[in-house]
Amino acid sequence: MIAFMPEINLQRRCKRQAWAPEHRFFAVTAPGLEPLCAAELKALGVEQVEARAGGVGFAGKLGAMYLANLHLRTAGRVLLRLKDFRVRRWDDLLRQAAAVPWEVYIPAGAPLAVQATLRQSNLKHEGRVAEAVFEAVAKHLAGLGLEPPVLAKPADQSAQRLLVRGEDRRALISLDSSGPHLHKRGYRLAGGKAPLREDLAAALLLLCGYDGSLPLLDPLCGSGTLAIEAALMARRLAPGGERGFAFEAWPSFREKTWQHLKSKAKEASRDRAPAMILGQDRQNQAVRLARENALRAGVEGDVDFSRADFFAARPPAGPGLLVLNPPYGKRLGSVRQAQDLIIRLGKHLRKSFRGWDCGVVLYVPEWAGLLGLKEKARLSAPFGGLKVTLLYGAVTG
Ligand SMILES: C[S@@+](CC[C@H](N)C(=O)[O-])C[C@H]1O[C@@H](n2cnc3c(N)ncnc32)[C@H](O)[C@@H]1O
């Protein structure tokens, strides 16, 4: 079917329905990272920032959502809240879903996935809810002479994704503005043996108050995630500057606004990291991978990756921040070996890195005691089926 609604009409609808109103948004984070993400949003100057379980709510015009996608380091995705309503009967869902101006958000004929999650909701059946919302979108677009969407699986990365959440007597319809998870910055293609997710790496650096002004060393760098995230921060480069987003396909998308935000972000960045950033690993293969990732991230001139055994190498000039993501038994080697390494690391830090600060990813929180750091902050977050502890402390004698 060919769209016959006049272009000018759609433009006017986009202006009135998408650009004129204030919207509510929700930046989804891994549980535990909410306060860090809230601080990031506040620093961006967006309004009504409110950390809740699993993410951070905020408000603003659509431009605030562009900004959040471009700059957030600790979020997984940014949702646009389309409807938040009370549900007494099934009809309430149909009525509310029919009232959304879908034509300004869902591209005609695009793949569209709808996921419903219900908790003690009187909507009862998740599959039926998803189906009903999909039908509402299709009917709405067809009624305007636009090609209806094509049903897609939630895993389809090219699809627009609607999320319906029903809890008790309320329901919420949201549209995912991000597309692929925001930790996918685009620089890491092959991941190495046990790579840290980019949002967790950024969270550890933020927890440690890293701003690029002091030397940073990751002596167990693997594929280089911590050092690369540090370089992006030190240069104030937007983590989303080199990737695409779902909202770029929306009929209401404003290319000019988006390019303006991206060039403003570039102007605010630094040409070079102000202090040294070092990544080391005892494996050649890891160092090669880290260098390739840094090149793709555009920070190859800011991070010095080299092959070295942490216990044999001379400590660099400091003090600064040492970041550690030691191997954990279940993914690399045995748990016993992992624990022995933490004990060795603790001894080495006390001997050679006194005066440095240290940020560490621990898979067993009790191991913090083995490192002997003077603790300053910690948080825990789920990662790879485990709960990891991000710990920030000072190395003392
Ligand atoms: C869990 S991985 C680090 C993953 C990394 N954060 C990433 O995102 O890819 C741990 C790394 O420590 C390295 N390693 C273990 N013992 C080391 C040592 N004594 N000196 C240097 N590197 C070591 C391993 O080769 C491995 O690449």
Helix runs in 4-118, H state only: 7-13, 34-44, 62-71, 90-98
Say which DSSP state 247 is in. G
**Which candidate, 313, 306, 305, 308, places its Cα nearest to that of 353?**
313
Out of 206-220, 263-277, 315-329, which region has the weakest mean confidence (pLDDT)? 315-329
Say which DSSP state 364 is in. S
Q: What is the pLDDT of residue 330?
A: 61
Ligand 1 within 6 A of CB of 311: yes
**pLDDT tens readout for residues 246-289:** 999 999 999 999 999 999 999 999 999 999 999 999 999 999 99
* Mean model confidence pLDDT for the chain: 95
Same fold, 7-176 and 198-237+268-394: no
Going from the Cα of 113 to the center of ligand 1, the distance in angstroms, rounded, reads 38
- Specify the CATH number of the domain 7-176: 3.30.2130.30
Ligand 1 within 6 A of CB of 383: no
Ligand 1 within 6 A of CB of 187: no
**And the tokens for 310?**
């942490």
Q: What is the pLDDT of residue 226?
A: 98
Q: Which fold has domain 198-237+268-394?
A: Rossmann fold (3.40.50)
CA-nearest residue for atom 13, ligand 1, is 220
Out of 62-76, 132-146, 184-198, 378-392, which region has the weakest mean confidence (pLDDT)? 184-198
In this structure, which amino acid lies at residue 50? E
Ligand 1 within 6 A of CB of 225: yes
C-alpha span between 27 and 51 (Å, rounded):
9
Count each helix (H run) and each strand (E run) in the chain, helices first. 11, 15
C-alpha span between 328 and 361 (Å, rounded):
10
Going from the Cα of 39 to the center of ligand 1, the distance in angstroms, rounded, reads 30
Q: What is the pLDDT of residue 331?
A: 59
**pLDDT tens readout for residues 36-63:** 999 999 999 999 999 999 999 999 999 9
DSSP, collapsed to helix, strand or coil, labels residue 144 as coil
Question: 111-119 and 55-60 as β-strands: parallel, antiparallel, unpaired?
Answer: unpaired
Domain boundaries, the chain: 7-176, 198-237+268-394
Going from the Cα of 193 to the center of ligand 1, the distance in angstroms, rounded, reads 9
pLDDT of 27 > 70? The answer is yes
326: preceding bond cis by omega (within 30 degrees): no
Ligand 1 within 6 A of CB of 220: yes
Q: What would the mean pLDDT of 329-356 be, rounded to a whole number?
A: 89
Q: What is the pLDDT of residue 154?
A: 86
